[in-house]
Structure 1
Amino acid sequence: MGNNQCPAQDAAHLAAVARGICPFPSYNPSPHFGHMLSINSSHHLQEHYTAVQRSLTPKQLEDFTQSLRTTFGREGKVTLGGVGVVALSLAVLFDTVARQVRGEVVSDSGPIPGVFVKEPSGYYPPQVNTMSKYLRLVPHIANNPTRMREETERCLNQLIADEESLDQLGENHTLPIREDVTQINRLMGDFVAVSLMLHLFRLKNASVDEWDGLSSNQRPFHIVNFNCDTEAADKVFLAEVEYFDSYTKRAFEKCKPKSDPESWLRYIAELELADVMSIPFLAIGFSPTEQRLNQRENFDLKAHALGKWAQSTD
């Protein structure tokens, strides 16, 4: 499926044109997944930490820093905080605390806002709640190797159970969702599961030879349930391409298949979805190298703090 000659930015641009004709969901999860679970996670985390701090007023920055100080202590060190799921949890924490110090109401349960892809009806697969619960917990146990190992194993087992429950719903034709959106969130579950296994291997100081491996087959995915007459929408889309600027026309020429698809809107949506779903696999893959398993970067919150790392009176 898709067009290997179609750059991701061109697919996204054409999808934006198509959405203006027949709305369908955005398929983009938080960039934190690709950044914080990549080989360059520590660099991305430090950049995000700095960016969040710079977005705050002096008073907000003081409250932000004190909140982190309360969680991590005066040293501000986070074990393995620069890599993998711990880096991901810290990125989520920074965003959450920043919203709180700005006076926003932030829920401490349910799907973490802005991280996963929301299905139009509001449905999330169970993996989203499992991942959200784990990511919220990690900052409070990151410096406790025993708890980290226990909770990581528990989360990994729960993701497997969540996947089995969804498979059963699918077999019984009782899955109450759009396949396209839910498949992305399920893919995020796969992505995090691999990262959880990597984290466990790091905690155990295991070698790459001990890696059991996972299936490298990506999930099948389909665009379904367009809420419009796709035949009529296709005609409008082709007319819009002709009407729009030269960039749109060039993008269309790069991305169109050798023969006309059954539905242009479906084809364009699938192009964008294919790009989104390939990002995690490009970032981490299913065959970790010795370099990745040997990543052992702690994260120093105090050293990278832009505000004063306030001392408590204890």
Structure 2
Amino acid sequence: MGNMQCPAEDAALLASVARDICPFPNYNPSPHFINMLSINSSLHLKNHYTAVQSSLTPKQLEDFTQGLRTTFGREGRVTLGGVGVVALSLAVLFDTLARQVRGECVSESEPIPGLFVKNLRGYYPPHVYTVSKYLRLVPHIANNPTRMKEETERYHKQFIIDEQSLDKMEENITLLINEDTTAVNEMLGEFIAVILRLHLLRITNCTADELVPVKGRPYGDMILNLNCDPQIADKDFLAKVQKSDNRTQEAFENCKPRSDNLGKTLLHHIAKLELTDVLTLPLVVAGVVSVDSMIAQREDFDLKASALGKWAE
């Protein structure tokens, strides 16, 4: 960062102000990535389950509940559904079913909508497709320990193949894979690869000593898609900050570039601050709890007990 004293919340505030002037991408991923992969994943999942159900009409809720019962049976219990990638897959399933019962078209082959950062060019690194396929599969195999182990091992190997393919592609399409949104989506894929490996250790009763890290690609200078004339936008941004409340002005003082590190433009600087914070999200999550504690998580999820609609017998 240009200013190491810039807190993440200040960078996010300034980015929201700047984005009103210059519509650069929102780099923040779906809250599901952090909530469902945290040590408090079960609570976050229950809250999301309630929120999704509450957003539906009585008829939609009936169809939603029936969709879950068709997938999980009359008991409505999901093995290890309150933790890790299984919790994330359930959050995705709730969103998907809600869209379907509202009559929205849902693709089963594209990246999961809303989970990753939108790329206007339509390019997504291979991790995104692998994650999407795996998360869509998990609800159908979560209660089958043998298949769950086999598929998780298979998809973990696929992540390694994805990483190798990016290494080969980098020489030819550096501009494409160094785009800001692509970098974020690649990071999210790498994050899921690590969590998937933790889940595999969890279901095979292993420890962190056997965790094999997934090789990540170092992020150099990102190509920021500002979608505006940053020179003109800088002037508008500064004028807006000067007219803003004290909190915004304080954030600007904390985050403005040093005089010896001005870089390109102020808008580039603000966008890069937010992008850098997003790219370090996995490190923040990893620093909260030990790996062994995450592997030790064992919590099923009871869909029936938390259902707002009638869980038909």
TM-score, normalized by length of structure 2? 0.91
Structure 1 residues 284 and 217, CA gap change in structure 2 (3 angstroms): farther
Q: Which amino acid aligns with 1:257?
A: P
Partner of 1:73: 73
Partner of 2:107: 107
Match of 1:284 among 274, 286, 306: 286
Kindly provide the CA deviation profile for residues 61-113 of structure 1, in whole angstroms up to 9, marking residues without a partner as x: 11111110010001111111111000000000001111111121211221111
Partner of 2:145: 145
Partner of 2:303: 301
Return 228-237 or 81-90, whichever deviates more: 228-237
CA separation in 2, counterparts of 1:125 and 1:215?
15
CA separation in 1, counterparts of 2:44 and 2:304?
17
Structure 1 residues 139 and 221, CA gap change in structure 2 (3 angstroms): farther
Partner of 1:172: 172
CA contact (8 A) 2:36 2:85 kept: yes
Q: How many residues align?
A: 311
Partner of 1:20: 20
Q: Which amino acid aligns with 1:35?
A: N
Q: Which amino acid aligns with 2:73?
A: G
Deviation, 1:2, is 4.7
Return 196-205 or 118-127, whichever deviates more: 118-127
Identity in percent? 65
CA contact (8 A) 1:39 1:284 kept: no
Over the residues paired in the alignment, what is the CA RMSD in angstroms? 2.2
CA contact (8 A) 1:26 1:117 kept: yes
CA separation in 1, counterparts of 2:159 and 2:215?
15
Deviation, 1:216, is 8.5
Structure 1 residues 150 and 289, CA gap change in structure 2 (3 angstroms): same
CA contact (8 A) 1:27 1:117 kept: yes
Q: Which amino acid aligns with 1:302?
A: K
CA separation in 2, counterparts of 1:210 and 1:128?
25
Deviation, 1:23, is 2.2
Return 221-230 or 7-16, whichever deviates more: 221-230
CA separation in 1, counterparts of 2:145 and 2:175?
38
Deviation, 1:7, is 3.0
Structure 1 residues 81 and 245, CA gap change in structure 2 (3 angstroms): same
Partner of 1:244: 244
Structure 1 residues 210 and 227, CA gap change in structure 2 (3 angstroms): closer
Partner of 2:85: 85
Secondary structure in structure 1 of the residue aligned to 2:176: coil
TM-score, normalized by length of structure 1? 0.91
CA separation in 1, counterparts of 2:86 and 2:116?
17
Q: Which amino acid aligns with 1:43?
A: L
Return 232-241 or 123-132, whichever deviates more: 232-241
Partner of 2:274: 272
